[in-house]
């Protein structure tokens, strides 16, 4: 068996475990329970952390992109340089307070739900990392690292779902020096629920798509579909389907689809990219 075969077997077993755990959690809202998964669809992807929420499914499709250095340690200038720009402040880099973009919101059984993404800039040293680690804890998000030092030089993002007064739930997140730059018809998404109520399992789909994606189609188990298109900047987030960018996140844009009552997630695909219909 080659190393490539061994890696592929390891990747598939981790993916299977993640999906089995999601199925087993169907009746319980377990909050933050990270499962590290390495997905493969034409090329190797970096490890990401996905929260296993009730009836959460992990989806990966159309992998064709390369990688992009998203956030790393700053370079060191030449001592002999005539002009040296001072490093931007931690505040300007959003190390202590993240960029936040609300992706969608709505009403379920008389209470508001919402989904949004936080992006935290990379700390450059130990003091910045300690302060960021504490700020994350205060705001109720948990990075997939054990100690603050592991945040140095790394950007973090958290996609969370909130409902009424319930504790917000991380459903998609990662901390890394580099993140994938999605391209073409790449899709990475999770299907989750509006609340701890199992009746809404699989009705909320949140994912990443390439910045060239113009249209995403979500397929539901009852045979119907919901089409998400790009929304103008500043358009409200009370919607059942939309593609929009997130502040501070350069590698991809974000898509949300909401299934009609009585059905749930089946599949998701990019159906138009760069003006061309793909299917």
Q: Is the pLDDT of residue 121 over 70?
A: yes
C-alpha span between 14 and 206 (Å, rounded) = 21
Q: Tell me, yes or no, whether 40 lies in a domain.
A: yes
Counting Cβ atoms within 10 Å, is residue 240 exposed (0-12), middle (13-18) or buried (19+)?
middle
Q: How many domains does the chain fold into? A: 1
Mean pLDDT of 237-255: 96
As a whole number of angstroms, the distance between CA 132 and CA 92 comes to 13
Is the pLDDT assigned to residue 7 strictly greater than 90? no
Each residue's pLDDT tens digit, 189-208: 999 999 998 899 999 999 99
- State the burial class of residue 80 (Cβ atoms within 10 Å of its Cβ: 0-12, 13-18, 19+): exposed
Q: Report pLDDT for 42.
A: 28
Q: Supply the Cα-derived Rg of the chain in whole angstroms.
A: 19
Residue 73 covered by a domain: no
In a domain, 80, yes or no: no
pLDDT tens figures, 165-183: 999 999 999 999 987 799 9
Who has greater pLDDT, 127 or 15?
127
In a domain, 81, yes or no: no
Domain membership of residue 84 (yes or no) is: no
Per the CB < 8 A criterion, the answer to whether 99 and 156 are in contact is no
Residue 109 has φ and ψ, to the nearest 5°, of: 50, 45
Q: Would you say 227 and 241 are in contact if contact means Cβ atoms under 8 Å apart?
A: yes
Is residue 78 a part of any domain in this protein? no
When pLDDT is averaged across residues 264-278 and rounded to a whole number, the result is 86
Q: Is 184 left (phi over 0), alpha (psi -120 to 50) or beta?
A: left
Which of 241, 124, 247 shows the shortest CA–CA distance to 189? Answer: 241
Asked if the model's pLDDT at residue 95 lies above 60, the reply is yes
pLDDT tens, 65-79?
332 222 232 333 344
Cα–Cα distance measured from residue 191 to residue 257, given in angstroms and rounded to the nearest whole number: 9
Domain range for 127 is 3-68+90-277
* pTM exceeds 0.85, yes or no: no
Indicate whether 165 belongs to any domain.
Answer: yes
* Domain presence at residue 106: yes
């Amino acid at each position: 068996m080659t190393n490539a075969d061994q890696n592929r077997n390891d990747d598939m077993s981790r993916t299977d475990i993640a999906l089995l755990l999601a199925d087993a959690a169907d009746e319980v809202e377990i909050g933050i329970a990270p499962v590290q998964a390495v997905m493969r669809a034409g090329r190797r992807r970096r490890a990401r952390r996905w929260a296993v929420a009730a009836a959460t499914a992990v989806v990966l499709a159309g992998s064709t992109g390369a990688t992009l250095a998203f956030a790393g340690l700053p370079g060191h200038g030449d001592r002999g340089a005539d002009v040296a720009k001072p490093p931007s402040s931690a505040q300007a880099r959003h190390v202590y307070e993240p960029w936040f973009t609300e992706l969608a919101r709505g009403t379920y059984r008389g209470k508001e739900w919402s989904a949004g993404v936080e992006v935290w800039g990379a700390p450059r040293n130990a003091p910045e990392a300690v302060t960021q680690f504490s700020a994350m804890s205060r705001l109720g998000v948990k990075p997939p690292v054990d100690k603050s030092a592991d945040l140095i030089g790394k950007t973090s993002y958290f996609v969370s779902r909130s409902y009424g007064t319930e504790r917000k739930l991380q459903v998609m997140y990662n901390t890394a020096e580099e993140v994938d730059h999605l391209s073409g018809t790449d899709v990475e998404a999770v299907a989750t629920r509006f609340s701890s109520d199992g009746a809404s399992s699989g009705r909320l789909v949140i994912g990443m798509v390439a910045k060239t994606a113009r249209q995403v189609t979500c397929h539901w188990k009852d045979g119907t579909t919901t089409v998400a298109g790009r929304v103008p900047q500043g358009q409200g987030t009370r919607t059942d389907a939309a593609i929009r960018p997130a502040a501070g996140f350069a590698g991809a844009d974000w898509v949300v689809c909401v299934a009609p009552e009585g059905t749930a997630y089946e599949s998701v695909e990019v159906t138009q990219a760069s003006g061309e219909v793909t299917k």
